[in-house]
Structure 1
Amino acid sequence: MKQSLNISPTQSLTMTPALQQAINMLQMSTASLRAEIQSALDSNLMLESDDGNSDSDEETPESTGDDTPDAGEVNVEWEQIYEPSPSSSNADLAPSDEWQTNTVSTESLSDHLHWQADMAPFDPHERAAATVIIDAIGISGRIEDWLSIADSLDTDFGLDADAAESTLQRIQTFDPPGVAARNLDECISLQLAQYDSDTPGHGTALKLIREVGLEALANAERYELAQTIDTPANEIDAALALIRTCRPDPGEAYEQSTAEFISPEIEIHRTTSGWQVSLNNDTIPRVRLNERYLELIKRGDQSDDQTTLKNHLQEARCFLNSLKSRNETLLEVAECLVTTQRAFLDYGNKALKPLVLRDVAERLDMHESTVSRATANKYIQTPRGILEMKSFFSSRVPTTDGGAVSGVAIQAMLQSIIAEETPSQPFSDSKLTTRLHDEGVCVARRTVAKYRAALGIAPSRERRR
């Protein structure tokens, strides 16, 4: 057999460790981000709180040499690149609305995955299969019995093994990374696949999982592992360190039944030129580089203290850049949502347009999972109150004229129709379906029943008075 080399272009989503930090920070809620910032302040000498006062009570250390290595310029004043939030002129917005007095529970993994599935471009059979698969995912984020699930998909929906596998692989691209894996090895492999191939230890880590397995890794010696996969021992250390950054139970973070005050990270205000979107800079503590330790680094000696400070400086740069990237992405996504849903802000749910993750991702040239993370557990202060960013999305439902209407708009229409019914002769789901058809909305009766139940409205037999 003749051997030859071929080059073929491929596309893949990869993450460097720095990008992974930025993405993890992007999906954090306000409370989680504040805790993350405080942890960074406690552990990194080069970071300090920015209270707006650049002076210090301590004397700045003097430089003892002429060599001043470049400490690197970091734009830590990221909040100044945005316009300050103007005061609202709306009478219905009181100062107390800045913080919602009620609490909110952490979103469950199932809710998070079902929401992403609703925003994904599945056909009807795939969507039904995706619902079954997501319901089979445990609190750990993994699927325990894939074979029986695949059999039921074939029996109930006519999906063969390839179609079921394709639907599963689509769900495995959802947030959080590693979700819907069928075993621990696949869970870690899915997470490793998001790293850049040039990441130290990346190829070796995948090879260890493929040829050795995680269970055997726990008790094996590094030299034994090196011989097993024919790899230098020093590469084993980097691979094991990379594996340790992955989460064996990616769904665990979504099952914490904590409660916190809602603090909106985005504010929108009506102006003469339209809606203005801005970051609420009061929700996140401001941080900056410590100028005194920067002066110490400029000494340029090779002491252990210098090495420690330089390592902390590198970590601080990465942290500040991730924080800046997070807020830029959050603002960019919020601006897209507000621009698209201006009618919703003006007129309410009936005017909400169909909008899914892919729409926003294509407009902003982002990955769908990035949009999902940017909108998870984030809130916007609007003249209509504090709204979750996810409320600006809604699935598409076709109309009789070839257009589309959002699922939320249909729910608002249902509420209006039911409010007009005669108490002694309430509308059945079939009658509600006919009324929606008369208004140009083409939906099935079971869809109407689902929307009615989501609104907390009882069936007609229970509404009859």
Structure 2
Amino acid sequence: MKLELVPQLQIQQNLSLRLQQSAHILQLSVQELQTLLQDSLQNNPLLEPEPEPDPAPPVREGLTRSTHHDDGGLSSQDYLGSAPRSRDELILENVRLSRADERCRALCALLVNALDDNGYLREDFADLLPPDYERVPLAEWESALALVQSLSIPGTGARNLQEALRLQVQARSRLSGAVRQALLDLIATELPALAQGDWTGVQTRLSLPSPLFAQALRELQQLDPNPGLAYLQPARQAIVPDVYVYRDGSQWKVAPDPRSLPRVRIHHEYAELLEAQARSAKDRALHDTLTQARWLSDSLSMRRATVCRVARLIVQRQALFFELGQQALQPLRICDLAKELELHESTISRATMNKYMSTPFGTLSFRHFFSGELETGFGGSCSTALVKEQIRRLVAQECRHKPLSDVELHQALRDESVELSKRTVTKYRLQLGIPNARERLQRARLRALSGQDRGSRPN
């Protein structure tokens, strides 16, 4: 085998460190940018924040739809304090305050640590003990588990769904004896049948009168299948908009938010002293610090300019949205903005990632205004956002006891001159979080039996 050197020509594109930093800063969210800026101001003595000369214009926020859904379940406010403590700490604190002996408290700690996020105990008692530990009688485990269940949100510490629901029923002292027994019978044997929608069969097998059966179903709807999630308080972080969109006469204008698009400046006196000195080996670190400060200042200025340019073009292209709302959203893609602004698509992608604008309709993501294009039967086009809104409207207006299938939704859209496939209708329905026709029918029947669907249209 002969070894030889063969010269080859190869073209390879590499981003400089300065461009890499600019691209990285462009795609950061407001929170990430503020963290980076705070660290840079602390570590680089040549940097200082530049105050904004003009405050952001007053913008009246529109009303946004609430994302809170009241499912009628048990509220954790009755059991949780305002202190940010973990589930295990809360339960074990209650155990310590009880009159249980030290051995029982130790078993309770093992049980609490074994609970999953939903509050269920999935492991066997024997698997919770450390290796080579003496065997604990089953009665002691059961006693410790009962203590944990009694000192937690009802349902926590259950070993299966039936037990979790049964514990919640037992904790509701306001229920009458007949309703309580009907609920326990439903939970014990009829959950699979209820999931299949066999209401008549369940009522017949349990020999329940219609009013009692309806009340039991209404109470069953209010039980929580995942009681442990009540302990997981989601971190609520306010969204800081990058820009404000406001009306100025007959035009919509964009103003940057100084918190999300900040400026920094360099101490000119320090910079002039460093420039006056000869670049020796001992001054190399100071000159590198000055270079990093200039790079950061330029990157922040570039981020501010790029985000504002993209935001202004989005507002310009989606002017009808700000006048008429979601139904007027026009087809818009990243490549369209890149072509008009003469920027690379990756730059537009970074400039719209985790960026938000405050509008009269609420605080919306930049990506909210991007929508694909679909052809219509009369030769024009419409946005995919408009089609999704039409699907949402059709489902909202359907007869509750005869929901529209995907085939029927597809035909209704075609009747409105929207050209798309049935598979696309299914995809858009899933993206909207709308269940299929069978699941919507089951929910309607459940609401009707439990007396919660009196205002729906008749069949």
**TM-score, structure 1 as length reference:** 0.53
The answer to whether 1:48 aligns with 2:36 is no
The answer to whether 1:426 aligns with 2:384 is no
Residue 23 of structure 2 aligns with an amino acid whose one-letter code is: I
Shift of 1:298: 5.2
CA separation of 1:322 and 1:286: change in aligned 2, threshold 3 A? closer
Which residue of the partner structure matches residue 424 of structure 2? Answer: 447
Whole-Å separation in 1 of the counterparts to 2:382 and 2:250: 27
Whole-Å separation in 2 of the counterparts to 1:347 and 1:274: 14
Preserved CA contact (<8 Å) 1:336 1:360? yes
Shift of 1:14: 5.0
Which residue of the partner structure matches residue 111 of structure 2? Answer: none
Shift of 1:287: 2.1
Which residue of the partner structure matches residue 264 of structure 1? Answer: 241
Whole-Å separation in 2 of the counterparts to 1:449 and 1:93: 31
Which residue of the partner structure matches residue 19 of structure 1? Answer: 19
CA separation of 1:275 and 1:22: change in aligned 2, threshold 3 A? same
CA separation of 1:338 and 1:451: change in aligned 2, threshold 3 A? same
Preserved CA contact (<8 Å) 2:354 2:365? yes
Cα RMSD after superposing both structures? 3.1
SS of the aligned residue for 2:255 comes to strand
Preserved CA contact (<8 Å) 1:23 1:370? yes
Which residue of the partner structure matches residue 392 of structure 2? Answer: 415
Which of 315, 318, 321 aligns to 2:295? It is 318
Whole-Å separation in 2 of the counterparts to 1:93 and 1:453: 27
- What per-residue deviation string (whole Å, max 9, x for no partner) do you get for residues 94-127 of structure 1? 9xx9xx999xxxxxxxxxxxxxxxxxxxxxxxxx
Which residue of the partner structure matches residue 288 of structure 1? Answer: 265
CA separation of 1:336 and 1:318: change in aligned 2, threshold 3 A? same
The answer to whether 1:393 aligns with 2:370 is yes
SS of the aligned residue for 2:238 comes to strand
CA separation of 1:101 and 1:43: change in aligned 2, threshold 3 A? farther
Shift of 1:419: 1.8
CA separation of 1:25 and 1:101: change in aligned 2, threshold 3 A? farther
Shift of 1:434: 1.0
Whole-Å separation in 1 of the counterparts to 2:364 and 2:261: 18
Residue 435 of structure 1 aligns with an amino acid whose one-letter code is: A
The structure with the larger Rg is: 2
Whole-Å separation in 1 of the counterparts to 2:411 and 2:396: 16
Shift of 1:13: 6.2
Preserved CA contact (<8 Å) 1:350 1:412? yes
SS of the aligned residue for 2:420 comes to coil
Whole-Å separation in 1 of the counterparts to 2:241 and 2:397: 36
5 Å matches for 1:119-130?
Answer: none
Residue 34 of structure 1 aligns with an amino acid whose one-letter code is: Q
5 Å matches for 1:357-376?
Answer: 357-376=334-353
Preserved CA contact (<8 Å) 1:343 1:352? yes
Residue 280 of structure 1 aligns with an amino acid whose one-letter code is: D
Which of 322, 325, 329 aligns to 2:306? It is 329
Which residue of the partner structure matches residue 30 of structure 1? Answer: 30
The answer for unaligned runs of 5 or more in structure 2 is: 1-8, 69-233, 445-459
Residue 86 of structure 1 aligns with an amino acid whose one-letter code is: P
- What per-residue deviation string (whole Å, max 9, x for no partner) do you get for residues 21-66 of structure 1? 111110000111111112222222211233x4xxxxxxxxxxxxxx
Preserved CA contact (<8 Å) 2:27 2:353? yes
5 Å matches for 1:191-206?
Answer: none
Whole-Å separation in 1 of the counterparts to 2:277 and 2:343: 41
Preserved CA contact (<8 Å) 1:400 1:440? yes
Whole-Å separation in 2 of the counterparts to 1:297 and 1:456: 60
Whole-Å separation in 2 of the counterparts to 1:438 and 1:302: 75
Preserved CA contact (<8 Å) 1:396 1:407? yes
CA separation of 1:101 and 1:19: change in aligned 2, threshold 3 A? farther
Whole-Å separation in 2 of the counterparts to 1:413 and 1:319: 46
Residue 22 of structure 1 aligns with an amino acid whose one-letter code is: S
Whole-Å separation in 2 of the counterparts to 1:389 and 1:267: 12
SS of the aligned residue for 1:25 comes to helix
Preserved CA contact (<8 Å) 2:357 2:365? yes
Which residue of the partner structure matches residue 57 of structure 2? Answer: 86
Shift of 1:260: 4.1
Percent identity of paired positions between Structure 1 and Structure 2: 35
Shift of 1:87: 1.7
Shift of 1:447: 1.1
Whole-Å separation in 2 of the counterparts to 1:419 and 1:13: 52
SS of the aligned residue for 1:283 comes to coil
Preserved CA contact (<8 Å) 1:31 1:260? no
Residue 443 of structure 1 aligns with an amino acid whose one-letter code is: L
Whole-Å separation in 2 of the counterparts to 1:34 and 1:87: 23
- What per-residue deviation string (whole Å, max 9, x for no partner) do you get for residues 228-268 of structure 1? xxxxxxxxxxxxxxxxxxxxxxxxxxxxx997431111110
The answer for unaligned runs of 5 or more in structure 1 is: 1-6, 53-78, 103-256
SS of the aligned residue for 1:261 comes to coil
Which residue of the partner structure matches residue 85 of structure 2? Answer: none
- How many positions carry a matched residue from both structures? 270
CA separation of 1:307 and 1:382: change in aligned 2, threshold 3 A? same
| Larger CA deviation: 377-386 vs 448-457 | 448-457
CA separation of 1:276 and 1:460: change in aligned 2, threshold 3 A? same
Whole-Å separation in 1 of the counterparts to 2:312 and 2:261: 19
Which residue of the partner structure matches residue 220 of structure 2? Answer: none
Whole-Å separation in 2 of the counterparts to 1:14 and 1:278: 34
CA separation of 1:295 and 1:370: change in aligned 2, threshold 3 A? closer
CA separation of 1:302 and 1:428: change in aligned 2, threshold 3 A? closer
SS of the aligned residue for 1:441 comes to coil
- What per-residue deviation string (whole Å, max 9, x for no partner) do you get for residues 189-231 of structure 1? xxxxxxxxxxxxxxxxxxxxxxxxxxxxxxxxxxxxxxxxxxx
Preserved CA contact (<8 Å) 1:34 1:284? no
SS of the aligned residue for 2:295 comes to helix
SS of the aligned residue for 1:397 comes to strand
5 Å matches for 1:98-247?
Answer: none
Which residue of the partner structure matches residue 383 of structure 2? Answer: 406
Which residue of the partner structure matches residue 130 of structure 1? Answer: none
Shift of 1:424: 2.1
